[in-house]
Amino acid sequence: MRLMVIGHLNGQIAQAGKIALQRGAKVIHCEDTVEAIGALLNGRGADLVMVDVKQKIAKFVQDLEDARIHLPVIACGVDNDARAAVKAIQAGAKEYVPLPPDADMIAAILEAVSDDNSAMIADDPAMKPIVNLADKIAPSEATVMITGESGTGKEVMSAYIHNKSKRKDAAFIAVNCAAIPENLLESELFGHEKGAFTGATARRIGKFEEAHKGTLLLDEISEMHPLLQAKLLRAIQEKEITRIGSNAAVKVDVRIIATSNRNLEQSVQKGEFREDLYFRLNVVNIPLPALRERPSDIPKLAQFFADKYADANGVDRKKLSPAAIEKAKMHSWRGNIRELENTMHRAILMSMQDEIEPEALLIQNSQFNQGAGTAATPNQAPSATDVGSAQNAPTAPAETAPTAAQPLNNPQAVEGLVGRTIADVERDMIIDTLEHCLGNRTHAANILGISIRTLRNKLNQYKDQGHDIPAS
């Protein structure tokens, strides 16, 4: 655990850093948010930030977003400063911790962040050989390719392998290749020098250097542009990188884990992905099954997420009722674990009884509601034809689209589309789906049957047109 503490050393927040240090965290101290941003850009990574409420938290959160640095921010202040606490939360802080610090509270925060990064529930028989394989190869230096549908827990498995490896005490750095625009991904990976391009106002250390001696996760690597694939291949082969705007090579010692929700062999055959890079990455392949193929894990995962979001929203924890468990097990979960997580987030907020009732699980197209004839069969996945059609037509999200066995429940909804342009219908469908996914762009793209790059381009277009876009 790497903790960054922002505030004056003579203040009470310094005591929080000392407590974290005693609990085994690696603590980095910065006097103010400007110094903190500089440290993060120069490779002094962190897993969690604790910042004094007297600092400019709103600007700090915005600077993190502008620099594409994703970290939970915890605000700290004297316990009677309620106004400052509210202001900090509104500015983007995830939590507020009163000062002077309580040792047990600091320990709980560190444990919560650590659990979020490494918790894995995998007791179903379908997962046993997968976990055994991960345990076997984790101590090695082999490059790993983790494949599976979107939302199956590929990043969690990556963190699991890192925590079981010889590099567990070093950094685990994740880069979502699909979420970062093509023109910025090279800088994100390899870094840049000041003045290397327009907007490069300061030197930046890339993720390869930040992950030195540790593990670098390249999430959704199938979305990477072919030109950048060549540079990535060289970095892996030569174990060195060159920052943009520099001629000096920098040696890096990094273990690579890559993930993809696509069939990379087909991408290689189509010329969309380099064959030599594919073989370099696919030394060990770990295929994760879809959630519908590991049904006995569904109740445990559902309860885990229910407890997580009860704590996050300050409400009492609740057990799932037997009927709710049955409803969850009968659903096909096209969005896999991510869809289940979003469903349980809503459920803990919607539940009105002592136990989470089935009505609080707002899921559709379930056997529980529709009968056995409408459920997806095991291993069901959208075909290439289905995905292509979804990219070119404003159909309903795949998860809720009516089938031959499920007649349209509201024919008037179709009549309501008459007179509207296809572009307007498509826009509303995309934005509504994103809201349904609580701003999770990867999940929304999966439901819509489009690539996350296409989704991002659409959202940028809608934002430029003045439409409100759900925050991620």
Give per-residue pLDDT as tens, 138-193.
999 999 999 999 999 999 999 999 999 999 888 899 999 988 888 889 999 999 99
Integer Cα distance of 233 and 281 in angstroms: 9
Domains, the chain, in order of start with CATH, read: 2-118 (3.40.50.2300), 128-287 (3.40.50.300), 292-374 (1.10.8.60), 384-464 (1.10.10)
pTM: 0.66
Give per-residue pLDDT as tens, 10-59.
667 777 788 888 777 788 888 899 999 988 888 777 888 989 888 889 89
Integer Cα distance of 88 and 5 in angstroms: 16
Which of 11-15, 301-305, 382-386, 437-441 is least confident?
A: 382-386
Closest CA to 248 of 196, 300, 302: 196
Kind and range of the H or E run holding 59: helix 57-66
| DSSP letters for 390-445 | HHHS-PPPTTT---TTS--S-HHHHHTTTTS-HHHHHHHHHHHHHHHTTT-HHHHH
The DSSP output letter for 208 is H
List of E strands, 201-267: 215-219, 240-242, 249-251, 255-260
